[in-house]
């Protein structure tokens, strides 16, 4: 395993930690101020975002595992498109599951998803601090 792949795994673990931690904090706060349905809804929203991260990681791993030749760039891009489609469809299905079938509070589901997305951004910034800076040509 090369350093880039090990760095990707460490970054994914950090992102998942931030997401799970922030969702647990929000769900705990809602447990004491709202009813239990809001806790389930926030948890479902967080699960949607966590599923997106795991799906992205899976498709990157699959593209890396199956395509080792330099001329396989088209196949790598195809893996990323399929992964993006899968994340979009799963996100919609999970939202429909929460809104229509489980009849959970929609605002709480969206809040959980939003908090988990904020955790995703925080995890990205922590995982790649040098790559997120804007550098100008002047010193």
Determine the Cα–Cα distance for residues 111 and 43; give it in Å rounded to an integer. Answer: 10
Contact 9, 127 (CB under 8 A): no
139 domain-assigned: no
pLDDT digits (tens, 9 = 90+) for 47-97: 999 999 999 888 888 877 776 666 666 677 787 888 899 999 999 999 999
Q: Is residue 137 part of a domain?
A: no
Specify the pTM.
Answer: 0.81
User: How many domains would you assign to the chain?
Assistant: 1
Structural domain boundaries, residue 67: 3-127
133: in domain: no
Average pLDDT of the chain is 84
Residue 76 lies in a domain: yes
User: CA–CA separation, 124 vs 112, rounded Å?
Assistant: 18
Give the closest residue to 110 by CA, choosing from 98, 120, 122.
98
* Domain-embedded: residue 114: yes
């Amino acid at each position: 395993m090369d350093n880039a792949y090990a760095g990707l795994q460490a970054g994914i673990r950090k992102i998942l930690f931030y997401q799970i931690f922030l969702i647990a904090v929000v769900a705990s706060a809602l447990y004491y101020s709202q009813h239990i349905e809001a806790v389930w809804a926030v948890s479902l929203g967080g699960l949607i975002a966590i599923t997106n991260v795991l799906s992205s990681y899976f498709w990157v791993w699959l593209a890396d595992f199956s395509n080792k030749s330099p001329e396989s760039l088209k196949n790598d891009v195809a893996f990323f498109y399929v992964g993006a489609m899968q994340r979009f469809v799963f996100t919609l299905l999970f939202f429909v599951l929460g809104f229509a079938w489980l009849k959970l509070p929609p605002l709480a589901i969206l809040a959980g998803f939003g908090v988990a997305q904020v955790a995703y951004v925080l995890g990205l910034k922590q995982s790649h601090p040098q790559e997120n800076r804007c550098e100008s040509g002047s010193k």
